[in-house]
Amino acid sequence: MAPLSRFALSLLPLVAAVNAATDPCATIGGKKWASPKDVRACLSSFKLDPAIKNNVLDVVSKTLAFHASVNYQIWAPEPYSLSVHEDLFKDIARINKTSYSSEYDFHIDLSRTFKRLNDGHCVWINYCFVTAFVNYLPIPLTLLTDKFGLQSVHIVPEAFDVAKAEFADGLDAWQDALPGDLKGRLDLLSGAKVLLINGLPPFAAVDANAAIAGSYQALGTRQIGFFSSYARAASSFSYSMGQFAQQSLPLDDSVSLLIQRVNQTKLEVITLPYRSRIGSSTKAFTDSASYRANNCRAVSGTNGVDIHDTTVAPSTADKFKQIPAPVAPAGKKHLMNVVLDTAPFTDITLPGGLQPTAPALNGSFGIGTFYLQKDGKTGVLALGSFSGANYDTMQSSLLQGLQSLKALGATQLIIDVTNNGGGYICVAHWLHRIIIGPKSTTVPEAGLDTKARSGPLAQQVVQKLIDEKLDPNQELLYNPLNWNNAQNVQFKADENWLVPPVKKIINGHPDAFSQRLGQECQPDGFTTTPPDVGFFEPSKIVIVSNGRCASSCSLFSITMAKEEGVRTVVVGGSNLVRQEYCGIVGGQSTDFATIDTEIKSTGLKSSPLAPPDLIVNGVQGITWRLGFGITRREEPEEWQEHYAAIQLPLTMELVNNPVKIWDAVTARVFK
Ligand SMILES: *[C@@H]1O[C@H](CO)[C@@H](O)[C@H](O)[C@H]1NC(C)=O
Ligand SMILES: *[C@@H]1O[C@H](CO)[C@@H](O)[C@H](O)[C@H]1NC(C)=O
Ligand SMILES: *[C@@H]1O[C@H](CO)[C@@H](O)[C@H](O)[C@H]1NC(C)=O
């Protein structure tokens, strides 16, 4: 493409202008650990090239034509009107007119503009900056509730175990920073109560973070992201440091805390530096020029490909999905609904004492693991993702695991979806269908009807692939054969399902969508035959999480809660806020590169509506199909209520201890 070479050329003077003698990236080049200040000096040393600014704004604006939620997000209905009111196009116009002292500042403004949507599907990530270095503190926090219901922030009791295991080579800098008697005794901080953070009550810091964290609509859920938590991962439970102890940009240099240690009456002030560690995907560099060349340019997978061009292999931008998704088998595409998280996927494991020790039952497949609790009747499915294993194996294993639980005498089921960021849509439908059995809410559809945006370029994509028979193998999203109408009848190969568009005025803006779509999971998306009877009564099932259950996890939880009456529990969080059991529903998520593939494969790249190729190492996520509501059927489910039936407060005993949490849930829910 001509535009690519033009932009690439204009990068040269930028790199040359950096003087090697004072090269701020040379200071951190080759280092594993650095101070956030030095990392910031490197990242903010790149002047904003107007070609980059134009290119990024052009790509994001044109890609937003395919994001179904744009006009809804200008002002979301209750209960989200306070948290979702972002007019992206107004802000993009403002950013276009603003001058920035660096590309880093431009990145932060654009990324936070997207984050104000509080929609983890629609984000802008530039790998040149995000998680290039990750900013850490060795003291993850939690929010505990005492027996009188009073809440206070604490350093987690397992803090030192986590720090020792994860930061063995970087601990000294923190040990040495502690004052007086505490010097070298980071271990003494574990469990301490935190009375002030930087001189203010802790919730000032929690809410300041919630304001820029993005990802979830509900304030309570964004507050919870500040604190540490666990997730079921492929080989064990993993540990999430929380956004206080782990920042994906080098935002803060240090933190000062007023603490009261366990069993101590005196109050102490400690100041700890944040330390930046090179990100696991950051390519080695020695100076600014190599930093930019290795980390900031478009890479394979940044842009789409023409599926008819056999010389290029398609690649997906999996890096920021919450749990790495395996590549789907060739020739088979499984539809995804997954959150794009700017927190890097980490391999920090939950410390030994907190890992469940009961044997994993038959059917367990790593990221989905089955246990029977000591009471002999409570079965547990810990499910960290809807895409953590092979698609077919996931379905057969989920079935086998439920069968194992029943065979062992389980009469009730806890499904723990803490930090489950979604994945395969049809696996969410499958799990709902097999647990509940066949009934009107599970057959033919166990999920939500959806709609896609019907903009002029999307309509042309469909028409071109029909007219020129461009997609014989059904690889493209817009192929009519991939979808069913609201009566669950498959569209004909030559039926442009985006026309006539369904016109709507949303927040005063005219918009256009496809007709209502039915489901596409049954029968072909189910690769195992579902049994004729369900496994557990809805009253004997409970879904547990920290509220951070997104995308396909939301599709599953919402249909189970609203259609079957299954109870939901949110563990932790402020008791001043009504907690939601999930967020970011979407319907089907995708990204710029995938849309670019649709455009290139239908020969429409030269349309003035088509986004150009991206010249930076970026990803833009979007909601491609939006699910319709269960209660208010004509409105998106996205901005309807998802209040948890039960809020389970965390105590020193329970925090980050899955087995004890499951026991507490059992005692509370299955009396
Ligand atoms: C940004 O401003 C320039 C100059 O006015 C204009 O040509 C361009 O289309 C604008 N870009 C976007 C994405 O609005
Ligand atoms: C605090 O005191 C209790 C009761 O004496 C004791 O069991 C516990 O080990 C002490 N914890 C610490 C960290 O000193
Ligand atoms: C688990 O699998 C083993 C080996 O196939 C089998 O012997 C056992 O009965 C199974 N247990 C349950 C509870 O299904």
- The pLDDT tens digits for 359-418 are 999 999 999 999 999 999 999 999 999 997 789 999 999 999 999 999 999 999 999 999
What CATH number does residue 384 fall under? 3.90.226
Q: Are 129 and 249 in contact (CB under 8 A)?
A: yes
Per the CB < 8 A criterion, the answer to whether 512 and 502 are in contact is: yes
Q: Check pLDDT > 70 for residue 1.
A: no
Tell the residue nearest (CA) to atom 5 of ligand 2.
263
Q: Which two tokens stand for residue 287?
A: 């100076």
Closest by CA to 163, choosing from 137, 134, 135, 133, is 137
The two three-digit tokens of residue 126, written as one number: 């530039």
Range(s) of the domain holding residue 371: 339-438+530-546+554-583+642-669
Residue 9 domain flag = no
Are 500 and 613 members of one domain? yes
Q: CB of 404 closer than 6 A to ligand 3?
A: yes
| CB 262 near ligand 2, within 6 Å | yes
- Mutate which of 182, 260, 263, 265 for ligand 2? The one with the most ligand atoms within 8 Å of its CB, which is 263
Domain count of the chain?
3
> Are 466 and 355 in the same domain?
no
Rounded to an integer, what distance in angstroms lies between the CA atom of residue 303 and that of residue 55? 13
Distances (CA, A) of 171 to 157, 176, 251, 252: 17, 9, 20, 18
Residue range 523-550: mean pLDDT, rounded: 97
β-partners of residue 413 are: 379, 541
pLDDT of amino acid 339: 81
Q: How far apart are CA 225 and CA 583, in angstroms?
A: 13
> Which ligand is the nearest neighbour of the Cα of 62?
1
Q: What is the pLDDT of residue 345?
A: 61
Indicate if the pLDDT at residue 567 is higher than 90. yes
Contacts of 291 (CB under 8 A, 6+ apart): 25, 29, 42, 285
**For ligand 1, which residues put their CB under 6 angstroms from it?**
57-58, 61, 92-93, 96
- Three-state secondary structure call for residue 30: coil
Has residue 15 got a pLDDT over 70?
Answer: no
166 in a domain, yes or no? Answer: yes
Task: Verify that 608 and 570 share a domain, yes or no.
Answer: no
> Does residue 664 sit in the same domain as residue 606?
no
* 460 belongs to a structural domain: yes
Do the domain assignments include residue 360?
Answer: yes
99, part of any domain: no
145/176 same-domain check:
yes
Same domain, 563 and 420: yes
Q: Is the peptide bond before 79 cis (omega within 30 degrees of 0)?
A: yes
Q: Which of 94, 96, 100, 620 to mutate to test the pocket of ligand 1 (most atoms within 8 A of CB)?
A: 96
400 lines ligand 3 (CB under 6 A): no
Side-chain-facing half-sphere of 190: CA atoms under 13 Å = 14
**Does the Cβ of 407 fall within 6 Å of ligand 3?**
yes
For residue 624, give the nearest of 488, 483, 456, 451 by alpha carbon. Answer: 451
Beta strands in 198-297 (DSSP E): 229-232, 237-240, 246-247, 254-260, 268-273, 275-278
At 17, the pLDDT band (50, 70, 90 cuts) reads very low
Do the domain assignments include residue 330? no
3-state secondary structure of 597: helix
Torsion, CA 69, CA 75, CA 77, CA 82, rounded to 10? 120
- Report pLDDT for 26: 97
| One domain, residues 610 and 512 | yes
CA of 392 to the centre of ligand 1 (A): 46
Checking if the pLDDT of 321 tops 50, the result is: no
214 shares its domain with 351: no
Nearest atom in ligand 2 to the alpha carbon of residue 263 is: 1
CATH code at position 271 = 2.30.42
For residues 264 and 260, give the distance between their C-alpha atoms in angstroms, rounded to a whole number.
Answer: 6
Question: Which residues share a beta bridge with 659?
Answer: none
Classify each residue of 465-500 as buried b or exposed e, where b means 16 or more C-beta atoms within 10 Å of its C-beta: bbeeebbeeebbbbbbbbbbbeeeeebeeeebbbee
273 lies in a domain?
yes
558 and 508 in one domain? Answer: no
Specify whether 376 is located in the same domain as 462. no
534 and 517 within one domain: no
Task: Give the residue whose CA is nearest to atom 13 of ligand 3.
Answer: 404
What's the rounded Cα separation, in Å, for the pair 548 and 214?
Answer: 12
> Which ligand gives the minimal distance to the CA of 56?
1
Asked if residue 412 is part of any domain, the answer here is yes
434, 481: one domain = no
Question: In the structure, what pLDDT confidence band is assigned to residue 671 with cuts at 50, 70 and 90?
Answer: confident
* AA letter at 633: R
